[in-house]
Structure 1
Amino acid sequence: MISQNEAAGRNALRTGTILFVFALVATALLAFTFSRTQPTIERSQQAAKLALLAQVLPPALYDNDLLASMHSVPPDDLLGTRQPSAMWVARRGDNITAVALEAIAPDGYGGNINLIIGIDMDGMVTGVRVTSHRETPGLGDYIDRSKSPWVEQFAGKSLTTPPAKRWKVAKDGGAFDARAGATITPRAVVKAVRDALAYFARHRAALVAPSISTEKKKP
């Protein structure tokens, strides 16, 4: 006759075995699903990144594969970075025409404002986009291109256009518009863009020096 303890032990073993089998099957299903969907996810992420780059680097400037042109840039105070960031090199034929730099405005109202800034070889901004931020919805989030065209005013600007003293929001006597009651956010972005231009001017030769022999031309 099976004792009560033996019966309880057998039940526990049976339950544990069943749970183990379920966990094994679930893990296998997850692994299978991941292996089938990961390529699609990666393609979607690459397409999204390429679309973003096309917003700051006009397509007429390049005929190379921008994603393949990415280089790592060391941390720098002018970029607001504390770890390596990315740079993409635009080329037309054999000529480097522009770069896109990741930068951070660390003094936003809600914290870091992450940016990607396109700059041509003449040191002129070709485009700016905010990639992430924590600014107040409905107040400071107009820096996001999906909410407002505010960032478009940087296109065509350089370190000397406008003059250095006018690289500020209009409330501070500068050349850049900002909404009343929400000037901390645009101040941070204006400063970050100008600092990125200063970084490019200072490191221009080094930035365009990395070998791009592994880049692929766009079909």
Structure 2
Amino acid sequence: MKSQPIIKAGFLLFIFTAISIFFVSLAQQSMKERIKHNEEQLLIQRLGELVKNYDNNILEDKFSKEITLYGSKQTINIYPAKRNNQVFAYLVEHNYPNGYSGSIRLLTGIDSNNQLLGVRVIAHKETPGLGDKIETKKSNWIEQFKGLSLGNPTASQWKVKRDGGRFDAFTGATITPRAIVTATYQLLTYFSEHEIK
């Protein structure tokens, strides 16, 4: 007789747990979709900062490549910008693994002459107040890459000033700027030696 209340309580606990799991997984799925939507909106914004006057659906025309970059294999996403059905620029989404606090997800624009349209950060974990100055909302530091190429500046100048190069670093944060400069130079070098397509 005494076991009936225990069985009833166990059954109610089971029902409550099952319902809780259902709602938690529902909320988690909803959050995943919202996060994906927010990431896509940020990507669209970054694409628009680097290239204008394209007439194709740049997101639908995206293609991916598996390449060895920065010493390891990674899948990069490439967004071709077209005008009158002719590609005039590529926007390359890639991951540089050696930031101060881990990987930095970048979007780099390269025109048909292998000249930089610019570089933008999509995601990072760099130190707030120091390394996060790579974001356009924090500083204009990252805008200095526009118009550069492998020959401008020379190979020896593709470094931060502390390493004898041309690029400024942030006070108290050299590793993050060094990472962006290195990532940009190595990506340009890769695509000077390989087809982007």
Q: TM-score, normalised by structure 1?
A: 0.77
Q: Could you tell me how far apart the structure 2 residues matched to 1:186 and 1:98 are?
A: 25
Pick one of 14, 20, 25 that aligns with 2:14.
Answer: 20
Output the amino acid matched with 2:187. Answer: A
Instruction: Give the match for residue 190 of structure 2.
Output: 199
**Residue 53 of structure 1 aligns to which amino acid in structure 2?**
L
Letter matched to residue 191 of structure 1: T
* Deviates further, 126-135 or 37-46: 37-46
* Shift of residue 37, structure 1, vs aligned partner: 7.5
Corresponding residue SS for 1:84: strand
Q: Which residue matches 2:116?
A: 125
Higher helix share: 1
* Aligned partner letter, 2:52: P
Q: Alpha-carbon deviations, 1:155-210, whole Å to 9, x = none?
A: 11111111222112223332222234422221221111011111121222xx22xx
Does the CA-based 8 Å contact 1:103-1:192 persist in structure 2? no
Could you tell me how far apart the structure 1 residues matched to 2:123 and 2:176 are? 13
Equivalent in the alignment of 2:66: 74
Aligned to 2:142: 151
Whole-Å Cα distance in 2 between the matches of residues 124 and 90 of structure 1? Answer: 14
SS at match of 1:130: strand
Larger Rg: 1
Q: Which runs of 5+ in 2 are unaligned?
A: none
Preserved contact between residue 81 and residue 104 of structure 1 (Cα < 8 Å)? no
Structure holding more strand per residue: 2
Aligned AA (1:108): G
Bigger RCO (CA 8 Å, 6+ sep): 1
CA RMSD of aligned residues (A): 2.6
Alignment of 1:53-92 (within 5 A): 53-56=47-50, 58-60=51-53, 62-78=54-70, 81-92=72-83
Alpha-carbon distance in structure 1 between the residues aligned to 2:16 and 2:25 = 14
Change (3 A) 1:71 1:29: same
Work out the CA distance in 1 between the residues paired with 2:29 and 2:131: 40
Overall identity of the aligned pairs, in %: 37
| Contact 1:50–1:66, Cα closer than 8 Å, also in 2 | no
| Aligned residue runs from structure 1 range 87-98, under 5 A | 87-98=78-89
Q: Number of residue pairs matched?
A: 197
Extract unaligned runs of 5+ from structure 1.
Answer: 1-5, 209-219
TM-score by length of 2: 0.84
